[in-house]
Amino acid sequence: MTSRTINGKPVNPIGLGCMSLSWGYGALPPRDVAIALLNRALDIGYDHLDTANIYGLGHNEKLIGEALKGRRGEFFLATKMGIVIEGEKRGIDCSPQSIRRCIDESLTRLQTDHVDLYYMHRRDRSVPIEESVGAMAELVKEGKIGSIGLSEMSADTLRRAAAIHPIAAMQTEYSPWTREPEIAVLDACRELGTTFVAFSPVARGVLAGGVRDVAALADNDLRRAMPRFNDENWPANLALVDQFCALAAEHGVTPAQLSLAWVLSRGEHIVAIPGTGSIAHMEENFARTDWTIPADAAARIDAMINQQTVAGPRYGATMQRTIDTEMFG
């Protein structure tokens, strides 16, 4: 597939979300496997890696810095700041002072003097977005960051931010079973020349066929707290997964490859960053970038899996309050 761009720099349409190597979905891969996965990803053509300072409370950035020492010139590197975790306390701080402190800490862990893209992980409602973007613009001038990104924010917030400084990327969850970006953000990104970066493009493993028995998920798997995986909603959602997997089989691709192709078909300004702790899954996600989803298959997915057919919201009420994205009524 033809490369796409972030901040004018070409990247492959499928990048690597690195969170699963440090946190989120139960047991972590052994350190040697994680290091091998990162290097194998670069070897086969991945050139866009996405991390954040909170993934494993710095572990993920350290892992990338150590595993890919000497290969920094081979990939576009993105990280994030803004979410603060202190014990059981979780908050958001995108004040200028915090932004400056966090980039220096991230650069140290990543063993580099710059990142190509620096995101605000969430909107800080106590700080005007213009003030936060202004602070990030100073880091661009200093060469510590190549460009500015936003994560889980609305089209209105994007426009306000872009009035201060060009916004290179907006990162939000997007897959056939999470459609909120279609309300306004996808169009706003296209209008402003902002790349849309889709995280969880295989629906947190669901549309990769990787989740069937929710009860078997580890106690520390974040999906356990998500409404779509509870006893009330999961049976209906599993039925949709079965239909989706059957469609993938019809087209000779894996369910993950079908979901990724669907996401990328939604616009030339979209890139996807599936994450995994499995080398085999990482290779699978990248293996069919030569395949374009037929229009009839995309239409069948749209009819099959959408905001009306998926049971339950993507987040519970507490988590949803930290998100600035538009919601379906």
**What residues does each domain of the chain span?**
4-206+266-290
Instruction: Please identify every residue annotated as catalytic.
Output: 55
Distance in angstroms (rounded) separating the CA atoms of residues 267 and 224: 32
Tell which CATH classification among 3.20.20.100, 3.30.420.40, 3.30.930.10, 3.40.50.1980 matches the domain 4-206+266-290. 3.20.20.100
| Cβ partners under 8 Å of residue 215, min gap 6 | none
DSSP structural state of residue 15:
-
Distance in angstroms (rounded) separating the CA atoms of residues 153 and 156: 8
**Cα-only R_g, the chain:** 19
Q: What is the mean pLDDT of each successive set of 10 residues along the chain, which is 329 residues long?
A: 93 98 94 98 98 97 97 98 86 97 98 98 97 98 98 98 98 98 98 98 96 94 96 97 98 98 98 98 96 98 96 92 90
What count of other Cβ atoms lies within 10 Å of the Cβ of residue 34? Answer: 22
| pLDDT given for residue 318 in this prediction | 87
Bridge-based pairing of strands 195-199 and 76-81 is: unpaired
pTM to 2 decimals?
0.97
pLDDT in tens, 148-178: 999 999 999 999 999 999 999 999 999 999 9
